[in-house]
Structures are given as C-alpha cells and as structure tokens.
Amino acid sequence: MNASLVITLIGNDRPGLVNALAARAAAAGANWLESSMAQLAGKFAGIVRLEIAEAEAGKLEAALRELESEGLRLTIERGAAASAAGTPRTTKFAVVGHDRPGIVREISAALARHGASISKLETACENASFSGEPLFRASIEVQVPASVQPASLKAELETLANELMVDLNLEDETSN
C-alpha cells in the first residue's frame, strides 16, 4: 500500500531548493506526482504531492524535515483517499479584467454557493499592454457536484462577471 504525502514549503528563494527536495524524495524511493511552485516577493513557495510505500513514509518525512535546517518551513500531510460521493464534473474557466480588490472573494463565494470545490487556482496581476493599468488574470479549475445544474452555475458566473466587469471564458465541462 502506498502513502500520498502533500508537502507545502516556503523559504527565501535561492538556487537548488527544488533539487534538495527532489533528491530527498528520490533517495527515499518516492514518486513525484504533482507540484506547483513559484517565486513570490523573494520567497520560494511550493506544494508537492509525493507517493511512497507506506512502510517508507516515516523515513521520507524525516528526510524532508532536514530541509528545515536550511531555512525552509514545511508542512507535511497525509493525503486522503478519494471520495465516492458521486462523480463530480470538472469545469475550467479564465477571468481577465482590470484589477481591483475582491475579485477572488466574489468568484469563490459564487462557487461555494453551488458546492463547487476549487481544485486549482492560478492568478497574476500584470500591466495591460496598451494602457499600462493593472490587469488581473485567473485560471480556475473546479470540481462541481453532479447534483448541480451546469446552466445554473454558468448563469451565476456570467452575471458575476458582468458585475465585476471582467471577461469570463468557460471551457466545456467534463466528467472525472
């Protein structure tokens, strides 16, 4: 039986951080399944999911904890088994508009009202190419319960996009 470990880490950015993590994972026999990492305001931040034989999980956790002596803060959690409560649909959409406080709050509240769970959220602010004004971009992937009517969620998101004055592009929904 395998254990799934979810590791979050943050520290001062410097060369070799990903390598240090990957070397410890490989030495313990772990498989690197998925990750998301970024440099934010001079800090390195990441989240990684590793899979390892249950009997070796403790050794891997101890090896990863050694990174704390190098200035990284880590949180290590055991992943949960997948739920069998109906097959959710995956919906992806992109948001683009003039930046202002509250965009993520409003969108996440609408999703929560429909019982949708955000599985991936990537955001960025950049200068618009012609005006130079701050432009907000988001790429969002959500798991929507099978009981939620797609048209209902789509209508609420489109209404919200109009209120926020942002462009919203929904991709076709798929079953997992």
Q: Report whether 32 contacts 25 (CB < 8 A).
A: yes
The per-residue pLDDT for 129 is: 82
Q: What is the pLDDT of residue 80?
A: 77
Mean pLDDT rounded to a whole number for the chain: 91
pLDDT for 17-37, tens place per residue? Answer: 999 999 999 999 999 999 999
Out of 3.30.590.20, 3.30.70.260, 3.40.109.10, 3.30.390.30, select the CATH number for domain 89-175. 3.30.70.260
DSSP class of residue 145?
-
* Chain segment 109-132, per-residue pLDDT in tens: 999 999 999 999 999 999 888 888
CATH code for the domain defined by 2-78: 3.30.70.260
The answer for residues whose C-beta is within 8 angstroms of residue 47's C-beta and 6 or more apart is: 6, 7, 8, 9, 35, 36, 37
pLDDT of 40 strictly over 70: yes
Per-residue confidence (pLDDT) for residue 82, from 0 to 100: 55
Domain ranges of the chain: 2-78, 89-175
In whole angstroms, what is the distance from residue 107 CA to residue 112 CA?
9
Are 140 and 103 contacting, i.e. CB atoms less than 8 angstroms apart? no
Check if 2-78 and 89-175 are the same fold.
Answer: yes
CA–CA separation, 68 and 7 (whole Å): 13
Helix (H/G/I), strand (E/B), else coil: 41: coil
From CA 135, how far away is CA 145, in angstroms rounded? 31
Say what the pTM is: 0.76
